[in-house]
Amino acid sequence: MGISSRPEEMAWVPGPAVRERARLLAAMKSWGFGDDAAAVAELGRRAVADPEWFWREALADLDLEFSVPFDRVLDESEGKEFPRWFPGGRINVAELAALRHARGDLAGKTAVVYEGDGGARRTLTFAELAAEVSRFAAHLAGLGVRRGDRVVLFMPVVPEAAVAFLAIAMIGAVAVPTFSGYAPDALATRLQDSDAVLLVTADGTTRRDKVVEMKATADAALAQAPTVRSVVVVRHLGTDVPMQEGRDVYYDELAADPEPVPTAETESNDPLAIVYTSGTTGRPKGIVHSHGGFAAKTAVDFAYGFDVHADDVVSWITDLGWLVGPMLMTGPLQLGATIVMIEGLPTHPTPNRMWEIVNRNGVTVQGIAPTAARALKAAGDGSAPAMPTLKTFVSTGEAWDEPTWWWLFDEVGGRERAIVNYSGGTEVGGGILVGYPFLPAAPAAFTGPLPGVDAAVLDDDGKPVVGQIGELAVLNTFPGMTHAFWQDRNRYLDTYWSRWDGVWVHGDLASVDDAGMWRIHGRSDDTIKLSGRRVGPAEIEAALLRDNRITEVAVIGVPDEMRGQRAVAFAVLRADGVDNEDLQATALANAGKSFAPEVYAVPTLPKTKNGKIMRRAIRSRFIGAQIGDMSSLDPATPLEDIPVYAGED
């Protein structure tokens, strides 16, 4: 179970068609670089050393238009921790993602596809999207929303969500996207912290055929949010909901032709969105993203990292409260690609729902989390239909276990589709590491940092290491990184910049080998120390998942008087009646004596609404510690399914 520095066998070897199509290789050729892994690394070094050169070239190559040119690429006059990107430039995400396309050749092209939980499907062309964005922007202004005001989105992933997000950007207000499954208190906290003036919500949504009454939740939250003056309600399910006179208005009852408003000339560093992340303690962190930084980062990640072109169809099961939601409504649309917004789950109402959506919409790039892949594998017979349009998977959200990665690569992808491994976070506006589709890659690995990112694996002394697990760190800054936390600069500094001077510590465990293959091993605060060695839970989980009886597993470290810590695993099994002693013996054989955990069979693992396993909450419940903020918990995966440790018999 050690981390080897030996070169690994490459599972993915791209063919000529993949390499010939690659946007980054084409750009590199025009910039005088070669086209192999060494050339990509050389580009990375130059982009880090000379951001003035790289970001000007990338913005020009990707056609990110500033209505007023910026003075320079980077201004660090307030310190490395508070950079200003493209200062003096005027740029607006609504113009980049929708309005300009409606004036050009893409006007009649499909921009947004919606796939509903109950089978509904709707579409918007770029011309229709731009018209709806302009219309709703005018109504927001008419409802008193001004530049810099915060507007909270508590909505399912419907076309109106993309319209609202871009309309808020168009008038220079600040979008606050939230999870569609929040309870009233969680939503109220975000309304309060952002001092929101308007809420956009829906009458409801569905999940596994069950109605989620969003307007009722919103009303309960609004009772605690006195700054909200207006509420716009999307009639999604068509159910009757209470409407407060003078405050609430239905989206479809807004005037068809309001007085138009101009697109705000937002400065590059003006806030675009506040995306809240939950911690185990304390109030949620409001991650601030700007027009210039978020536009540049999402364009680079989708174009250079995932190789998205204007003729692509990008599909992802996401939620507005997960950064992928705002990224999907920004990155591909800027590039002229079509996005598919999916409400619900990948396996409902049919076990192969995700693959059916791919074929129905001609999807070329499919986003998938390892959790979703495991669910698809378990729900069906392990096979997938032919998907002739699909070129690439993009994976993010958590570390892969290799059995599931191989299933997706072999059985679903037929070894003909890259799995673009992608890891970053809300705080950096996208990715730090990526598995470029045009480079050979080892199973479940990354082939390097994204352009402009100076990533490293650091040991406990802050020294770069190869061949061992350490802290994933960023040694520079890049567009897309948060402009601190909303109204809390000190907490931002303490969270990311306090361990080593001038170094961003991301909070993930990572490793890189001699062949340049990177891996993520889980969150560093989930680290377990066994037999004197620091181990990421993903390492043990991958070993346990070699047992085909286990569909999902979470491993935690708990206090142990003799050893300091011991590992405990919670496993979801394919069938009842598995002998626990046999299960334990298999865990011992697969993980090894030094790392084998004590295994508990459980019906479900608690997850966030975007499918991440909540290991810290699992640990807190098991050992009887304070659990902390659970606002992101998916109610279909109750924490109560985890046993409370009762001590030795």
Ordered alpha helix ranges (H), 206-252? 214-222
Q: Across residues 192-196, what is the average pLDDT? A: 97
How do residues 339-352 score in pLDDT, each as one tens digit? 999 999 999 999 99
In the predicted model, is pLDDT for residue 647 greater than 90?
Answer: no
With bands split at pLDDT 50, 70 and 90, how would you rate the model's confidence at 393?
A: very high
With bands split at pLDDT 50, 70 and 90, how would you rate the model's confidence at 636?
A: confident
pLDDT confidence of residue 99? 98
Q: Which residue has the higher pLDDT, 558 or 54?
A: 54
What number of CA atoms fall less than 13 Å from residue 623's CA on the CB side?
17
pLDDT confidence of residue 532? 59
How do residues 197-230 score in pLDDT, each as one tens digit? 999 999 999 988 889 999 999 999 999 999 999 9
Name the pairing type of β-strands 198-202 and 150-154.
parallel
pLDDT confidence of residue 6? 40
For the chain, percent of residues with pLDDT exceeding 70: 96
pLDDT confidence of residue 4? 41
Computed over every residue of the chain, the mean pLDDT equals: 92
Name the pairing type of β-strands 230-234 and 210-212.
unpaired
Residues 6+ apart with CB under 8 A from 381: none
In the predicted model, is pLDDT for residue 398 greater than 60?
Answer: yes
Q: Which residue has the higher pLDDT, 497 or 586?
A: 497
CA angle, residues 302, 308, 309, in degrees to nearest 5:
135
Q: Across residues 393-403, what is the average pLDDT? A: 88
In the predicted model, is pLDDT for residue 461 greater than 90?
Answer: yes
Q: Across residues 166-172, what is the average pLDDT? A: 98
With 0-12 / 13-18 / 19 or more C-beta atoms within 10 angstroms meaning exposed / middle / buried, residue 649 is exposed
Cβ contact 353:346 at 8 Å:
yes
Q: In what order do the strands lie in the sheet with 564-573?
A: 550-560, 564-573, 598-601
pLDDT confidence of residue 525? 72
Contacts of 122-128 with C-beta under 8 Å, sequence gap 24+, read 122/158, 122/159, 123/159, 124/159, 124/162, 124/163, 126/98, 126/101, 126/102, 126/336, 127/102
The amino acid present at 259, given as its one-letter code, is: E
Ordered alpha helix ranges (H), 223-348? 291-300, 324-328, 331-334
Q: In what order do the strands lie in the sheet with 470-474?
A: 455-458, 470-474, 504-512, 518-523
With bands split at pLDDT 50, 70 and 90, how would you rate the model's confidence at 279?
A: low
pLDDT confidence of residue 40? 97
pLDDT confidence of residue 7? 45
Distance CA 469, CA 510 (A): 5
pLDDT confidence of residue 583? 85
pLDDT confidence of residue 587? 82
Q: Which residue has the higher pLDDT, 633 or 294?
A: 294
CA distances from 379 to 319, 370, 374 (A): 22, 14, 8
Distance CA 389, CA 603 (A): 36
150 has which bridge partners?
A: 174
Domains in the chain, please, with CATH?
16-96+290-454+476-488 (3.40.50.12780), 527-641 (3.30.300.30)
How do residues 511-544 score in pLDDT, each as one tens digit? 999 999 999 987 777 777 776 566 778 778 888 8
CA distances from 530 to 231, 526, 565, 567 (A): 52, 13, 6, 8
Cβ contact 68:89 at 8 Å:
yes
Distance CA 443, CA 406 (A): 7
With bands split at pLDDT 50, 70 and 90, how would you rate the model's confidence at 2?
A: very low
In the predicted model, is pLDDT for residue 391 greater than 50?
Answer: yes
pLDDT confidence of residue 5? 38
pLDDT confidence of residue 565? 80
pLDDT confidence of residue 531? 60
Q: Among 496, 505, 394, 392, which Cα is nearest to 446's?
A: 394
pLDDT confidence of residue 537? 80
How do residues 534-580 score in pLDDT, each as one tens digit? 677 877 888 888 888 998 999 988 887 666 788 899 999 988 888 88
pLDDT confidence of residue 576? 82
Q: Virtual CA dihedral for 425, 559, 529, 579, nearest 10 degrees? A: -90
What number of CA atoms fall less than 13 Å from residue 176's CA on the CB side?
27
Ordered alpha helix ranges (H), 111-174? 126-142, 159-170
